[in-house]
Amino acid sequence: MGGGAGCRLLGLPPSTGRKGTEVTDWQAWQESWDRQQEWYLPDREERFRVMLDMVEALTGDKPRVLDLACGTGSITARLLRRFPGAVSTGVDLDPALLTIARGTFEGDDRVEFVTADLTDPEWPARLPYDTYDAVLTATALHWLSADELRALYGRLAGVVRPGGVVMNADHMPGEGTPRVHAAERAWTEARRERAKAAGALDWEEWWRVVSAAPELAEQARQRFEIFGSHRDGEILPASWHLDTLRAAGFEETTIAWASLTDALVLALR
Ligand SMILES: C[S@@+](CC[C@H](N)C(=O)[O-])C[C@H]1O[C@@H](n2cnc3c(N)ncnc32)[C@H](O)[C@@H]1O
């Protein structure tokens, strides 16, 4: 976080370097991103845990992982904490989030970050490895349209080694229960308002803080040029993901975790 403005805006003490010069605490920025995401997803850690359980079960404890649409690298952070022998490549298009990610993992040669647009058919050519044991992604692919995601799943079948796994945790609402979902939406809205009243930052507020921090302001300006506030793709049910992954060439597909609104789909190559 900004040694200066970022820390102050988020109510944290600024960190200082030699002779009182302020240094950027990227780890604190990463943690503030996690808090903001948890405002939307209180069970975010649980789905990460299940993801990593399945990585271990299917590929062992030294996996080569692709953290797809990595944001600030939250999956990579949890992966390396749990499996110090893992390596990770993070891919994203957002210059501000990638700056936080690169700052957080600076000097860690297990980690590389790649700037790429996942809707560009050529993006896999930018990866440092030909294949991966696991591709992990969370709360991201609903930014794509169904056609873009179908094409992406097809490309992932070429990126994951035979026997490797793709896992996608995202909004995948259950089907055929409109009254249950309406009640859940109202309850969630009330929970979020309570958290906001207690000081939690939502997406817009978090980006306002980022845009006001000198160490990230230019990258934030660039990301708003690329994405606007948020790019809305399609929210598709888990059944669509399972069918589409099968059609893309994955031999086994299943739901590894689910709530009323979200699911973690797993596809074994
Ligand atoms: C809500 S964030 C989730 C980030 C991270 N997976 C996490 O759980 O914290 C969604 C991410 O998807 C990325 N993204 C969306 N569309 C993309 C695209 N076409 N190419 C690359 N990244 C994309 C965004 O830049 C953003 O970092």
Confidence of residue 231 (pLDDT cuts 50, 70, 90): confident
CATH fold for domain 5-268:
Rossmann fold (3.40.50)
Residue 269 has pLDDT above 90, yes or no: yes
Say what the pLDDT of residue 23 is. Answer: 82
| 92 within ligand 1 shell (Cβ under 6 A) | yes
| 66 within ligand 1 shell (Cβ under 6 A) | no
Domain definitions of the chain by residue range: 5-268
Q: Which of 97, 99, 102, 144 to mutate to test the pocket of ligand 1 (most atoms within 8 A of CB)?
A: 97
**Of 268 and 15, more confident:** 268
Say what the pLDDT of residue 170 is. Answer: 97
HEC sequence for the chain: CCCCHHHHHCCCCCCECHHHCECCCHHHHHHHHHHHHHHHCCCHHHHHHHHHHHHHHHHCCCCEEEEECCCCCHHHHHHHHHCCCCEEEEEECCHHHHHHHHHHCCCCCCEEEEECCCCCCCHHHHCCCCCEEEEEEECCHHHCCHHHHHHHHHHHHHHEEEEEEEEEEEECCCCCCHHHHHHHHHHHHHHHHHHHHCCCCCHHHHHHHHHHCCCCHHHHHHHHHHHCCCCCCCCCCHHHHHHHHHHCCCCEEEEEEECCCEEEEEEEC
pLDDT in tens, 122-149: 999 999 999 999 999 999 999 999 999 9
Say what the pLDDT of residue 13 is. Answer: 46
Mean pLDDT value across the chain: 93
| 239 within ligand 1 shell (Cβ under 6 A) | no
Residue 6 has pLDDT above 70, yes or no: no
Q: Which of 65, 70, 201, 234 to mutate to test the pocket of ligand 1 (most atoms within 8 A of CB)?
A: 70
pTM score, two decimals? 0.93
Calculate mean pLDDT across residues 40-57.
Answer: 96
Say what the pLDDT of residue 199 is. Answer: 86
Say what the pLDDT of residue 2 is. Answer: 47
